[in-house]
Amino acid sequence: MAYKSFTHSRIRPAKWAVMTVGTGLVALLVVLAPSVGARSNTIVRLAATATPASGATPQPTLESAEAYTIRGINSYEQGNLEAAIADFTQAIELQPDYAQAYYNRGIAYADQGNYDAAIADNSQAIKLQPDYALAYNNRGFDYSQQGNLEAAIADYNQAIVLQPDLAIAYNNRGDTERQQGNLEAAIADTTRAIELQPGFAAAYYNRGLAEADSGNLEAAIADYSRAIDLQPDLADAYTSRGLAYADQGNYDAAIADYNRAIELQPDDAITYTNRGITYYHQGRLDEAIADQNRAIELQPDLAVAYTNRGVDYVALGNFDAAMADHNQAIELQPDYAIAYFNRGSVYFLQGNLDEAIADFNRAIDLQPDFAEAYNSRGLAYYMQGNLEEAIADTTHAIELQPDYAEAYNNRGLASYSQGKLDEALTDYNRAIELNPNYADPYLNRGNIYLDRGNLDGAIAEYNHAIKVRPDYAMAYNNRGFAFANQHRFDDAIADYDRAIELDPNLALAYGNRGYVYYFQQDYQRALADLQIYVQLAGDQANPQARELIIHIEAQLGTETPP
């Protein structure tokens, strides 16, 4: 059984899979499959000029108010927000009906993250100048930053009614629609922004985000590239294009883009954590951990970096460090479903099935559409012998994610264990149809052929599993078992040798090779292999192997030490 678990957070989840048979014994293989990304949005807010509101009658103090406004804009452009706010405030005191001073001060407040004050200022600007489209646009932005997406959409709508050619309002409404999951509307709005303003880099970038969320990676990459052409210092576009390349498996291109994003924005923790995930996929674990460390240094409360580093530690076999990182991620973000999922996966690997199930339960509570959590909980139930629950969970995973090859394979395992071979075979076939390069269902389909006495069919399936995954120790073990049943003992031993070479702790291969040596009357080698098998298998060792050891010892006149 292959266990694909653990999800990196870029900020998307993972999988589990397979069972194999030797002499009626089960082996466990762990495979990690990480996960997807945080993308920063580029929203543009326009700074006002010092021109008074249209139709406003100049007051005696307006010239002084304009002077403060001009100085405030200069301070804003220099990054001195406090000075800018002070000047805009002075302008308002001198001219209380000066809508643009409220508008400008709202921009400075928003840049400070003070969205309540920004909303208040834009609201006052709108009250003073009801046709102020830019104030509606900016208030919509402020609402979006507070998570009030409906209010944001309403303000963008009004901005567009007042100024139908306002590209920024289409861009911002499109990005808000993307956050709501309305991807077609998002693409339509950002496309309209581009039509109105062909050099609008942010609109290309945000359309790329919507295309990526729609699964159209090529279109997303094209839009990110156009955004970069228009604005070469747009770090977020490099990061998002890197995510798209990574999703395509083009890890070298992804890393090149992350490197450029880091050059442009050296303190962006998210880019480090995403590059770390890509290093993980390339097997460059030291670099992966170094990037997660850097992300944590830059942003100590970044829960995703801890859980991503935890996945890296599991790949190194350091379960204690992995558990500590997942615990920290949960402490920082108690509603973080992926962290519970990953911690549950560590518990599973440690054999703590009850704790694993508890964490998978929590992940599902927090994220009811978390297909991988249902799949992994199903595996834990399977390991406990609770086959009905295992089938229910894997079925639900398939309902949530119909192209989930691993879930079909794993449901097949549970059906196989219930003796429902036809149902199992149907699921294995579907898994292969969905992913022809997925080795586990070939192996499992071979096991069914083996059980039915179709040795040639079983060998063909094991051959395919090995072709897809040349380091698949269990496939060599099972093919060796089929060869042994055909009395092709030399071929069987060669396969067992290869299985042991690939996985020196694969108990089944020692046990099976020991049986072949016994049939060849090579009792010394048979005894050595069977003893190793019993030592590795422990309480799970086949009693017949222990009996055979006693029999061989009697023949050789030796005795296994107590």
Residue range 513-538, pLDDT digits in tens: 999 999 999 999 999 999 999 999 99
Residue 175, SS3?
helix
The pLDDT, as a whole number, for residue 560 is 53
**pLDDT over 70 at 542, yes or no:** yes
**pLDDT over 80 at 322, yes or no:** yes
Predicted confidence (pLDDT) per residue in 369-424, tens digit: 999 999 999 999 999 999 999 999 999 999 999 999 999 999 999 999 999 999 99
Please provide the average confidence, as pLDDT, over all residues in the chain: 88
Write the CA distances from 56 to 51, 53, 60, 469, 539, integer angstroms: 10, 5, 13, 75, 89
**pLDDT over 50 at 60, yes or no:** no
- With cut-offs at 50, 70 and 90, classify the pLDDT of residue 559: low
Predicted confidence (pLDDT) per residue in 478-517, tens digit: 999 999 999 999 999 999 999 999 999 999 999 999 999 9
Give the number of other Cβ atoms within 10 Å of residue 113's Cβ.
Answer: 9
28/301: higher pLDDT: 301
**pLDDT over 50 at 17, yes or no:** no
Query: Residue 296 carries which side chain, given as an amino acid letter?
Result: I
**pLDDT over 60 at 117, yes or no:** yes
Mean pLDDT across 527-550: 93
- With cut-offs at 50, 70 and 90, classify the pLDDT of residue 10: very low
The pLDDT, as a whole number, for residue 63 is 66
Mean pLDDT across 437-449: 97
The pLDDT, as a whole number, for residue 555 is 86
The pLDDT, as a whole number, for residue 557 is 81
Mean pLDDT across 435-455: 96
- The residue written with tokens 């070939």 in the block is 442
Mean pLDDT across 104-129: 96
Distance CA 498, CA 490 (A): 12
Write the CA distances from 323 to 179, 311, 328, 372, integer angstroms: 32, 9, 9, 19
27/556: higher pLDDT: 556
Predicted confidence (pLDDT) per residue in 140-166, tens digit: 999 999 999 999 999 999 999 999 999
Mean pLDDT across 89-113: 95
Give the angle subtended at the CA of 185 by the CAs of 183 and 189, to the nearest 5°. Answer: 115
CATH of 43-164, one of 1.10.3470.10, 1.25.40.10, 3.40.50.300, 1.10.390.10: 1.25.40.10
Mean pLDDT across 344-365: 97
Mean pLDDT across 289-302: 97
pTM of the model: 0.81
- With cut-offs at 50, 70 and 90, classify the pLDDT of residue 556: confident
Q: Which helix (H) or strand (E) holds 254?
A: helix 251-264
- With cut-offs at 50, 70 and 90, classify the pLDDT of residue 64: confident
**Entry field: residues in the chain:** 562
Distance CA 365, CA 346 (A): 19
**Do 224 and 208 form a contact (C-beta atoms < 8 A)?**
yes
Mean pLDDT across 548-555: 91
- With cut-offs at 50, 70 and 90, classify the pLDDT of residue 18: very low
